[in-house]
Structure 1
């Protein structure tokens, strides 16, 4: 088992390092490191983008949610499809703005679009905070796999620290292109693992077929296949599903690493092709939920009742060592590739949008060094948040989306409404966070909108405040508005393409 885990990890990371390429090594700049030289074509962009669909949240988090709650795991189907419908419209616009103005980070967009460098600092800090919460998902998953590989002889704290060190080492030595190549390897392995487990799982739990697993689960746990799930008193009803899925979909492309990913695309057309086809990826969630139901049928009991470990425990109990190793190794890559992108983006934001305004004379080499060093600090904070974490990966994900959702109204209004101002955006962010975090606000939502996702409520409050304050504050400069609205040379397909297409 341990040998198979090691082989899978070495394969993924080695191909990622090769993917970085000699050209990138010779040109070690922040642009090359952070946005892949803005030359990720359709295929490579597919894998780095799909890396956000298939992380350990998808495999361990959703299967664990299905094991513990049942139907609420359907959130994965809804949120992915809605996200790509929004991404089809939004991501090419982000790409165009990035090309036009040479933007590298999401906070660069805030500073340029609203004509306020100070707003870039605010957006950078909010983005870093949300990314650190998101890194927790990868560290929780990696630590579970580390413990499995070492036979449970390691404490949770030590496993989390080892997971963080491995993640930092990978992204420190590589960059976005390496993460993209590693994502390609882990996506292929993920499909192999899901097909292998789905094809054999019925026989492991005494079912006649895949569909029979669902029938048996419903008989053993009435209501598991419909909302609110196994527990009739759970708040995870239809309203929770709709508001949570909408909150994830609206916040998804606002995450700084996905903004950065859009900048890295070779063309707007490459982005749209991905947005059309990648919702098909969400169909694999059917099999992941199936595995969660099968684990419940098998009477799987992960240590301390940790739902995040339900699938790993089920595979460990029912499958031979080489399958356990394949699943664990693939899970390692599922966390490593996305986690590396999250840390890389945090470092880029800190360097360009927090340190940069204070040290305008920072050289490319110094900026790259600051980015890499700052990631160590962010990794340490993520470790501190992760140690002792017992919540589900789905809950952590929703916390992260609630935080980044405070930037969503500004992003959408930045492309839709020329009148949006920096002061309006700041007011919206501040009031939105109050609506999300203040105890009195939580009490109000719990009383009047008990089934609603709090992040979506706070996002709506943020939106209204941003609009109202923008109406009574001075208009932003026209050159700033043009970042999100005017067409320019950057909208034309890159030189050497087969046709000059305007991605309007």
Structure 2
């Protein structure tokens, strides 16, 4: 019964996604495959956007954090709300830049804005590396779901390998539109799963109501609802919450797949509507945290004390096979929909911004072939990382945001300050990554700024370096600075008007 439900959900979604992607008769060029013809309307863009809010990290990572630590899981509420406040301002600017210059990847933006092809290669490599780490989150979760579906008949390594093959097969169906369709199905199923589990979870743990679950958790585990949570020695204090939330919010739309997703919208209005309503959608995190607390009350002990598997273990022990099958099937889509978009973006960046500068005469057919081949390699690297590392999903996420946050100053200053230069961006990247990754860095920041998110500190050092170096290096061309402006203003002769518009 369980396996039958999972297969039914998976096969029906894949078939529907493929049909939807091909119904538009698109997908023959890299542009159509990667940005959906720049024509996604409010509803489809909503599901694409929501697909990045509710991934396996949201369900398994946050519920696991609630099970293991408690209050630190509130990070989900803060980071999502801040992200969309920033996205309301930033995403339309990205969309406008993409539309005016027919940009496809994030690295295209850096090439156009800073008039430097070499910067596109540098930022493209950084973007790909960050995406691979993000894919790791989906693969770790998908591997756990594969094990649940098969009743632990295969090892974690084999399950992760199967997960990687499933993700590659899915992304090959028809590109970004297929991912949007799967995201829509996934969101509907996730709502059903959350309602079913939340409505019944109190009875499973001896509570009188959903709110009583929180009361019982606090009674049996004093301090679970306060920072730093269950572990008094944990660095997850209120300072950690604030700095981590800000770091995630600043880096969120700088992730190449979300940057590229902005290009797919039909209009800036579509983007702003989504930015207004998506934070309300994130209130479902309340129920996900509820399930994590319930798993703790039920005495759930996942294999190897793996907090990423806490919710799956709880469901498999407390619910009948049909419900377990529904949860597992939904979990497959929670990983496949965003994972496919991540790989698709990485493949697009590799072709356009790493390969094409050295082979400018590549046609669309060859470009598409290279992109698909590259994403297969990236998926293999992510599988290897997933098997070799055992971090929590939240820790992996924070590492990914710290890495991609190094591109944030170049993006924000690129729209805010016309004097920002390519050499300034390069200097900022070097300073930022040294501050983040140098052997001495972690201990140093723990000493002078305990409980602060190191990625935010490195981002600030990066931004300061960009400003200082930009002031002493030649300014970019006027056309580069005008990226994203209306076509009639691009040719405007009045430099004062141009400056005011920027």
TM-score by structure 1 length?
A: 0.96
CA distance in 2 between partners of 1:288 and 1:233 (Å):
25
The equivalences for 1:72-471 within 5 A come to 72-471=72-471
Residue 488 of structure 1 corresponds to which residue in structure 2? 487
| CA contact 1:100–1:490 (8 Å) conserved in 2 | no
| CA contact 1:247–1:401 (8 Å) conserved in 2 | yes
Segments of 5+ residues of structure 1 without an aligned counterpart are: 492-502
1:295-341, Cα deviation, whole Å (9 max, x unpaired): 00000000000000000000000000000000010011000000000
| CA contact 1:24–1:32 (8 Å) conserved in 2 | no
Aligned-pair CA distance for 1:22:
3.4
Runs of 4+ in 1 over 6 A off after TM superposition: none
CA distance in 1 between partners of 2:389 and 2:199 (Å):
33
Residue 67 of structure 1 corresponds to which residue in structure 2? 67
CA distance change for structure 1 residues 490 and 344 in 2, over 3 Å: closer, same or farther?
A: farther
CA distance in 2 between partners of 1:461 and 1:116 (Å):
23
CA distance in 2 between partners of 1:191 and 1:441 (Å):
42
Residue 28 of structure 2 corresponds to which residue in structure 1? 28
| CA contact 1:96–1:490 (8 Å) conserved in 2 | no
Aligned-pair CA distance for 1:239:
0.3
CA distance in 2 between partners of 1:22 and 1:185 (Å):
17
CA distance in 1 between partners of 2:236 and 2:310 (Å):
20
Aligned-pair CA distance for 1:9:
1.1
Q: Which moved more, 1:254-263 or 1:442-451?
A: 442-451
Residue 41 of structure 1 corresponds to which residue in structure 2? 41
1:231-266, Cα deviation, whole Å (9 max, x unpaired): 111110000000000000000000000011000000
Aligned-pair CA distance for 1:489:
6.0
Aligned-pair CA distance for 1:156:
1.1
CA distance in 2 between partners of 1:357 and 1:238 (Å):
46
CA distance in 2 between partners of 1:76 and 1:284 (Å):
10
Q: Which moved more, 1:433-442 or 1:66-75?
A: 433-442
CA distance in 2 between partners of 1:8 and 1:65 (Å):
27
Aligned-pair CA distance for 1:207:
0.2
Residue 494 of structure 1 corresponds to which residue in structure 2? none
CA distance in 1 between partners of 2:164 and 2:36 (Å):
23
CA distance in 1 between partners of 2:350 and 2:388 (Å):
27
CA distance in 2 between partners of 1:444 and 1:315 (Å):
42
Aligned-pair CA distance for 1:125:
0.3
SS at match of 2:98: helix
CA distance in 1 between partners of 2:400 and 2:55 (Å):
15
CA distance in 2 between partners of 1:366 and 1:40 (Å):
26
Segments of 5+ residues of structure 2 without an aligned counterpart are: 491-500
1:88-143, Cα deviation, whole Å (9 max, x unpaired): 00000000000000000000000000010100000100000000000000000110
Aligned-pair CA distance for 1:24:
3.2
| CA contact 1:57–1:137 (8 Å) conserved in 2 | yes
1:419-455, Cα deviation, whole Å (9 max, x unpaired): 0000000000011000000012222201000110000
| CA contact 2:218–2:224 (8 Å) conserved in 1 | yes
CA distance in 2 between partners of 1:320 and 1:207 (Å):
20
Aligned-pair CA distance for 1:490:
10
CA RMSD of aligned residues (A): 1.3
Q: Which moved more, 1:153-162 or 1:119-128?
A: 153-162
| CA contact 1:99–1:490 (8 Å) conserved in 2 | no
